[in-house]
Amino acid sequence: MPEIEVEGLYKRFKVAKRSAGLGQAVKSLFHREYRIIEALNNVSFSIESGEIVGYIGPNGAGKSTTIKIMSGILVPDEGKCCIMGRIPWKERVAHVKNIGVVFGQRSQLWWDVPVIDSFELLRDIYAIPQKEYLENLDLLVSTLELQNIINIPVRQLSLGQRMRCELAASLLHGPKILFLDEPTIGLDAVSKIAVRQFIKRINREKNITVILTTHDMNDIEALASRILLIGKGRILYDGDLDYIRNCFSTHKTITVNFRGNKPQVDTCVAGISGVNVISCSEERILLDVDTRTARVTDVITILSANLDVIDISIDSQPIDELIVKLYREYDI
Amino acid sequence: MKSNIKAYFSVFRLRLITGLQYRAAALAGIATQFFWGFMHIMVYEAFYENAMGTQPISLKQIISYVWLQQAFLVFIALWIRDYEIFNLITSGNIAYEFCRPCGFYGFWFAKLVAQRLSGATLRCFPILIVAFLLPEPYRMTLPPDFLTFCLFVITLVIGLLVLVSISMLIYISVFITMSPSGSMTTISIIGEFFSGMIIPIPLMPSWLQKIANYLPFRLAADMPFRIYSGHIPADEALKGILIQLAWLLVLVLIGKISLKSITKKIIVQGG
Amino acid sequence: MKTIKLYFKYLIILLKSQMQYRGSFWLLALGQFLVPFSVFAALYFMFERFGNIKGWNFFEVALCFAVINMAFAVTECFARGFDTFSNLVVSGDFDRLLVRPRSTFLQVLGSKFEFAKLGRLVQSATVLIWDLVNIQVKWDFFKIITLIFMIAGGVFIFTGIFILTATLCFWTVQGLEVANILTDGGREMSQYPLSIYRKWVIRFFTFIIPFGCINYLPLMYILERAEEKRILCMISPLFGILFLVPCLFVWKAGVRHYRSTGS
């Protein structure tokens, strides 16, 4: 029995049409026009306990609608959803005790008071027994390294510190499922890594199911083995990331550091089809290899034969490019 | 200069469009104002019923006073819920405003005038038209002659400028306190009281009227409205215009000077 | 009850938040005091000039003023969350409330408490005390109870209106200033005994939004001018208290609508 089971979700929204210009504005005083947006169109998937799922798609695809339905905020027009044996919107209070939600852009902490005050009020809101609260608090504080910031008002924290506190706040009541909406947005590299490591750890140690919505593909690469791609309200892909990589990865970048003659380099690779020189300096050359027409090993062999090679590195296409291709493929 | 005027006009037009978009808000606002107008008139009516002796201002004049207050509320209220400037200041984005070529004081002054003009244009006509069509005793009366009407329009417009210069000073003071609400409430209460919004100035006890006459708040509301109904005769009206212009000069000067000295020592808060 | 304890915990965190801005607090409280004070001053000056209004003297009217302003002040303090509910919806923070295992009603109540609004409470309490000293009334136990019910009834009526207005936000956040007719307007109107207005006004404010129950009817009882139905006049404030009940149902319906149509 999967922990999360979603079947045939449909959701439509009515949005008022607004047009530009003074004439149109006067018109709209008397007559409003609407259009129907199909936010979700037969969305189905299931998630087992302990999975980390990356939920991706372009803006407006239906991600936040799905998350809202799964957290019990929104009621779908049609379809079923069963999370840990409950229907989220029907048993909101009971369901919500088992989930944690982090909205990357909006804070759930009280702005002007020390973090610990927010934590204590959350303890009371969720009616967490004191013993359990202290245990969870200790664990979260040590794992997220909050000791030094827990007594500082939230408004004085940096974005990275705030996000760590948000994560802690969402886990104080020991939920089984965690919804993360853009958790690393705006964070510096160090904080991003800290957040990712934390998520991996709680997933491993406490078997917490994580559903991650993000535009940062590096988050997905670091955390999620499984991807749910949604576009224009439909699930377009449900599987693992490697498959996407293999399907769409068509180029590799070879970086070579060398000693020797530059003109030699130009000539020796000019002949190979599928190989383009991105840049070339006295000591380094960057090549773009189309793996469909040329083989990386062949290129390397030719280069080694002609140059005094110091170092070679081979890079795959950045995941963002792959995702762009993926979106284009599905026309979203 | 021409580009400035164009800029101000486009602000006006944009606000008008925005205002029309929110049709429910526009209708609601007008309905609200009718309610307040009726309510005030009913109260004055009730007071005047038992009035012994003649009052310094007649009920008919009070009624047109009330309707003018409602119709031109946007012109005369010190308190306007536009936190745009406040947010700019507290968030620190105000620094971008100083880069404008038009000159900070001038640009914001014109923006505030445009804002009020567009707000009033939307509301004053529906309210006035209906006010003229109401049954007695609620009906609004016409001014006694055309000259009075002209004086009314002139004093109303200059009064608007005086009011905006006062509100500029309030905004400038926010630079110092960094917190809008506190000073805003207190000052706007005092301003509203002494502009006759809470009790018409002619109905105040004489010692209070004297204080009101020394302050500039009455110049935007009380004075034009009493000119309209003829309560202030034409020759006094002309004197009134001079007083308006004098205050306008003083307030704008104070505003510009304090702004100059403040921009020299700005603390940008936020982040 | 545990819910009440939790509500107080909300208040404590809000107090801590606002105490961070101590300077502006006093200015704000002063402003909140001055607003009803200026209205009261106007009232005083009008009576100084006119003597009475349709037979009611200054202290009788001042009693109405004190009652309605106290009720409004208390409501503004406690139910401010509903008053400013449009912010919660527009910012999307209401979703946050739906993800917490508590009733939305409690959470909205606990979302705001502006301590500076106590300034208005101080002003109306001062007027009430001054008025009680000066008014020509023979006070007894029942009259005092009636007075307390008048204020309590007012609180419930205003809270009900706040809730209704907040529920409107689920459909639209525009045009809500109309509701001010009922809150600010109702308050300003009820400063005077409703009998000074036209008949249709009295009817509206007795049967639709029952301000009459906390204004004219019990006032007649206290001033011993009710010739008939004295008991009805005395207990009429309770109808004001009952007004809250349908408002709560409307709120629930509003939340249901929000959850099926999204924002």
Average pLDDT, chain B: 80
Q: Read off the pLDDT of each residue in B257-265 and give the average, rounded to a whole number.
A: 75
Least confidently predicted of A254-263, B107-116, C2-11? A254-263
Q: What is the pLDDT of residue A176?
A: 94
Q: Is residue B258 a part of any domain in this protein?
A: yes
Confirm if B37 and A45 have CB atoms less than 8 A apart.
Answer: no
Print the domain residue range for B232: 2-264
Least confidently predicted of A279-288, B37-46, B199-208? A279-288
Count CA atoms within 13 Å of residue A97 on its CB side.
13
- Say if B9 is an interface residue toward chain C (CB within 8 Å): no
Q: How close C4 comes to chain B (CA, Å)?
A: 31
Q: What is the DSSP letter of B219?
A: G
C interface toward A at CB cutoff 8 Å?
A: 2, 5-6, 9-10, 13, 16-18, 20-21, 91-93, 95-96, 98-102, 259-262
Given phi > 0 = left and psi -120 to 50 = alpha, else beta, which region is C54?
Answer: left
B8 band by pLDDT with thresholds 50, 70 and 90: low
Is pLDDT above 80 for C50?
yes
Q: Read off the pLDDT of each residue in A291-319 and give the average, rounded to a whole number.
A: 84
Q: What is the pLDDT of residue B108?
A: 81
Q: What is the pLDDT of residue C176?
A: 74
Highest mean pLDDT among A246-250, B173-177, B188-192, C4-8: C4-8
Q: What is the pLDDT of residue A24?
A: 65
Rounded-to-integer distance, Cα A47 and Cα A211, Å:
9
pLDDT tens profile A171-211: 999 999 999 988 888 888 888 998 999 999 999 999 999 99
- How many other CB atoms are there within 10 angstroms of residue C253's CB atom? 12
Is pLDDT above 80 for B191?
yes
Domain residue limits, chain C:
2-7+20-260
Average pLDDT, chain C: 88
Do B21 and A18 lie within an 8 Å CB cutoff? yes
Do A11 and C92 lie within an 8 Å CB cutoff? no
Q: What is the DSSP annotation of A3-67?
A: SEEEEEEEEEEEEE----SHHHHHHHTT---EEEEEEEEEEEEEE-TT-EEEEE--TTSSHHHHH
Do C185 and B205 lie within an 8 Å CB cutoff? no
- Say if A125 is an interface residue toward chain C (CB within 8 Å): yes
Query: Is the ipTM reported for this complex over the cut 0.90?
Result: no
Q: Is residue B269 a part of any domain in this protein?
A: no
Percent of chain B with pLDDT over 70: 76
Q: Which residues of B230-245 are buried (b: 16+ CB within 10 A; e: fewer)?
A: bbbeeeebeebbebbe
Is pLDDT above 80 for B193?
yes
Task: Give the neighbours of chain A: at least 3 Cβ pairs within 8 Å.
Answer: B, C
Q: Which residues of C46-59 are buried (b: 16+ CB within 10 A; e: fewer)?
A: bbebbeebeebebb
Q: What is the pLDDT of residue B101?
A: 47
Q: Read off the pLDDT of each residue in C81-101 and give the average, rounded to a whole number.
A: 90
Q: What is the pLDDT of residue C121?
A: 94
Q: What is the DSSP annotation of A153-222?
A: BGGGS-HHHHHHHHHHHHHTT--SEEEEESTTTT--HHHHHHHHHHHHHHHHHH--EEEEE-S-HHHHHH
Terminal-residue alpha carbon distance, chain A: 33
3-state secondary structure of B101: coil
Q: Which two tokens stand for residue B79?
A: 């308190």
Is pLDDT above 50 for B233?
yes
Confirm if A191 and A41 have CB atoms less than 8 A apart.
Answer: no
Tell me the chain C residues in contact with residue A111 when contact means C-beta distances shorter than 8 Å. 17
- Say if B90 is an interface residue toward chain A (CB within 8 Å): no
How far is C-alpha A273 from the chain's CA centre?
A: 37
Q: Which two tokens stand for residue B246?
A: 């004098």
B271 band by pLDDT with thresholds 50, 70 and 90: very low
Q: Measured between CB atoms, which of C45, C50, C189 is closest to B204?
A: C45
pLDDT tens profile C105-143: 999 999 999 898 999 999 999 999 999 998 888 888 888
Rounded-to-integer distance, Cα C62 and Cα B191, Å:
24
Comparing B3 with B124, the larger pLDDT belongs to B124
Rounded-to-integer distance, Cα A191 and Cα A183, Å:
10
Residues 6+ apart with CB under 8 A from B156: B72, B75, B224
Rounded-to-integer distance, Cα C187 and Cα C185, Å:
5
Q: What is the DSSP letter of A289?
A: E
3-state secondary structure of A252: strand
pLDDT tens profile A41-84: 999 999 999 999 999 988 888 898 999 999 999 999 999 999 99
Rounded-to-integer distance, Cα A172 and Cα A137, Å:
6
- Say if B36 is an interface residue toward chain C (CB within 8 Å): yes
Least confidently predicted of A208-217, C65-74, C198-207? C198-207
Q: What is the pLDDT of residue A21?
A: 65
B80 band by pLDDT with thresholds 50, 70 and 90: low
Average pLDDT, chain A: 87
Is pLDDT above 70 for A278?
yes
Do B17 and A25 lie within an 8 Å CB cutoff? yes
Q: What is the pLDDT of residue A54?
A: 94
Tell me the chain A residues in contact with residue B30 when contact means C-beta distances shorter than 8 Å. none
Do C17 and A113 lie within an 8 Å CB cutoff? yes
Q: What is the DSSP letter of C56?
A: B
Is pLDDT above 60 for B267?
no
Q: Is residue B271 a part of any domain in this protein?
A: no
Confirm if B32 and C182 have CB atoms less than 8 A apart.
Answer: no
Q: Read off the pLDDT of each residue in A151-171 and give the average, rounded to a whole number.
A: 92
- Give C223-228 contacts, CB < 8 A, sequence gap 24+: C223/C60, C223/C137, C224/C137, C224/C138
Least confidently predicted of A297-311, B205-219, C45-59? A297-311
Do C99 and A121 lie within an 8 Å CB cutoff? no
Rounded-to-integer distance, Cα A308 and Cα C160, Å:
84
B179 band by pLDDT with thresholds 50, 70 and 90: low
- Say if B23 is an interface residue toward chain A (CB within 8 Å): yes
- Say if B55 is an interface residue toward chain C (CB within 8 Å): yes
Q: Read off the pLDDT of each residue in C237-254 and give the average, rounded to a whole number.
A: 90
Surface-to-core class of residue B265, CB atoms within 10 Å of its CB (0-12 exposed, 13-18 middle, 19+ buried): exposed
Q: Which residues of B134-166 are buried (b: 16+ CB within 10 A; e: fewer)?
A: beeebebeebeeeebeebbebbbebbbbbbbbb
Rounded-to-integer distance, Cα B34 and Cα B28, Å:
10
Q: What is the pLDDT of residue A188?
A: 87
Rounded-to-integer distance, Cα C110 and Cα B237, Å:
54
Q: What is the pLDDT of residue A213?
A: 92
Task: Give the neighbours of chain B: at least 3 Cβ pairs within 8 Å.
Answer: A, C
For residue A226, what are the β-bridge partners?
A: A53, A240
Comparing A22 with C190, the larger pLDDT belongs to C190
Q: What is the pLDDT of residue B54?
A: 77
Tell me the chain C residues in contact with residue B199 when contact means C-beta distances shorter than 8 Å. 41-42, 45-46
Q: What is the pLDDT of residue B266?
A: 57
Q: What is the pLDDT of residue B270?
A: 40
Do B35 and C185 lie within an 8 Å CB cutoff? yes
Phi, psi at A177, each rounded to 5°? -125, 140
Percent of chain C with pLDDT over 90: 48
Structural domain tally of chain B?
A: 1
Q: Which helix (H) or strand (E) holds A311?
A: strand A308-316
Is pLDDT above 70 for A22?
no
Q: What is the pLDDT of residue A46?
A: 93
Tell me the chain C residues in contact with residue B39 when contact means C-beta distances shorter than 8 Å. 185, 188-189
Q: What is the pLDDT of residue A45?
A: 94
Tell me the chain B residues in contact with residue C54 when contact means C-beta distances shorter than 8 Å. 46, 49-50
Confirm if A128 and A136 have CB atoms less than 8 A apart.
Answer: yes
Rounded-to-integer distance, Cα A288 and Cα A278, Å:
6
Q: At what angle do helices A159-171 and A115-125 cross, to 10 degrees?
A: 20
pLDDT tens profile C154-166: 999 999 999 999 9
Q: Which two tokens stand for residue B122?
A: 């939307």
Q: What is the pLDDT of residue B4?
A: 64
Q: What is the pLDDT of residue B79?
A: 65
Do B28 and C27 lie within an 8 Å CB cutoff? no
Q: What is the pLDDT of residue B125?
A: 86
pLDDT tens profile B89-126: 555 555 565 555 446 788 788 888 888 888 788 788 88
Is pLDDT above 80 for C226?
no
Do B186 and C46 lie within an 8 Å CB cutoff? no
Q: What is the pLDDT of residue A287?
A: 86
Phi, psi at C112, each rounded to 5°? -145, 140
Tell me the chain A residues in contact with residue C99 when contact means C-beta distances shorter than 8 Å. 71-73, 96, 99, 101
**What's the one-letter identity of residue B206?**
S
Is pLDDT above 60 for B85?
no
Q: How close B202 comes to chain C (CA, Å)?
A: 11
Residues 6+ apart with CB under 8 A from C81: C88, C108, C109, C110, C111, C112, C113
Q: Which two tokens stand for residue C121?
A: 């409470």
Q: What is the pLDDT of residue C160?
A: 93
pLDDT tens profile A96-133: 999 999 987 888 999 999 999 999 999 999 999 999 99
Q: Is residue B63 a part of any domain in this protein?
A: yes
pTM: 0.83
Q: Read off the pLDDT of each residue in A234-248 and give the average, rounded to a whole number.
A: 85
Least confidently predicted of A122-136, A280-294, A301-315, C226-240? C226-240
